[in-house]
Amino acid sequence: MKTLNPYTLLAAGCAMLLALGACDREPTDYREFLGGKESVYPGKPNNLKASPGRDRVEFSWNPSADPSVKRYRITWNNGRNAAMVDASTHDPAEFIKVVVPAVNEDRYEFALYALDAAGNISVPSPISVRTYGARYESGLNNRGVLSKWFESETLVIQWATADTVHTGSRIAYTDVNGQKKTYDVLPDALETRVPNCKAGEAVSVLSGYKPVTLAIDTFYALKPDTLKF
My answer on whether 105 and 152 are in the same domain is no
My answer on whether 180 and 111 are in the same domain is no
My answer on whether 72 and 127 are in the same domain is yes
Cβ contacts of 112 within 8 Å, gap of 6 or more: 45, 48, 59, 61, 72, 73, 74, 124, 125, 126, 127
Q: Is residue 29 situated within a structural domain?
A: no
My answer on whether 105 and 186 are in the same domain is no
Q: What is the pLDDT along the chain (229 residues), one digit of tens a residue?
A: 444 444 443 344 434 444 444 444 444 444 454 455 567 899 999 999 999 999 999 999 999 999 999 999 999 999 999 999 999 999 999 999 999 999 999 999 999 999 999 999 999 999 999 999 999 999 999 999 999 999 999 999 999 999 999 999 999 999 999 999 999 999 999 999 999 999 999 999 999 999 999 999 999 999 999 999 8
List the beta bridge partners of residue 31: 40
Neighbouring CB atoms inside 10 A of 198's CB total 17
For position 200, which CATH number holds? 2.60.40.10
My answer on whether 101 and 57 are in the same domain is yes
Q: Is residue 2 situated within a structural domain?
A: no
Q: Is residue 84 situated within a structural domain?
A: yes
Give CA–CA dist 218/187, Å, rounded: 13
My answer on whether 84 and 144 are in the same domain is no
Q: How many domains does the chain have?
A: 2
My answer on whether 123 and 150 are in the same domain is no
Going by the DSSP 8-state scheme, the letter that residue 153 receives in this structure is: T
For strands 31-34 and 37-40, give the pairing. antiparallel
- Given 111, 131, 151, the domain boundary residue is 131
Confidence (pLDDT) at 219? 98
Q: Is residue 175 situated within a structural domain?
A: yes
My answer on whether 46 and 123 are in the same domain is yes
My answer on whether 52 and 123 are in the same domain is yes
List the beta bridge partners of residue 194: 155
**Residue type for position 119:** G
My answer on whether 43 and 122 are in the same domain is yes
Q: Is residue 61 situated within a structural domain?
A: yes
Q: Is residue 200 situated within a structural domain?
A: yes
**Residue type for position 228:** K
Q: Is residue 25 situated within a structural domain?
A: no
Confidence (pLDDT) at 35? 52
Neighbouring CB atoms inside 10 A of 3's CB total 5
Domain containing 156: what range?
Answer: 140-227
My answer on whether 183 and 111 are in the same domain is no
My answer on whether 92 and 113 are in the same domain is yes
- Given 66, 101, 131, the domain boundary residue is 131
DSSP H or E segment with residue 9: helix 6-23
- Given 71, 105, 131, the domain boundary residue is 131
Burial class (CB in 10 A: 0-12, 13-18, 19+), 42: buried
pTM for the predicted model, two decimal places: 0.79
Confidence (pLDDT) at 39? 79
For strands 107-116 and 31-34, give the pairing. unpaired
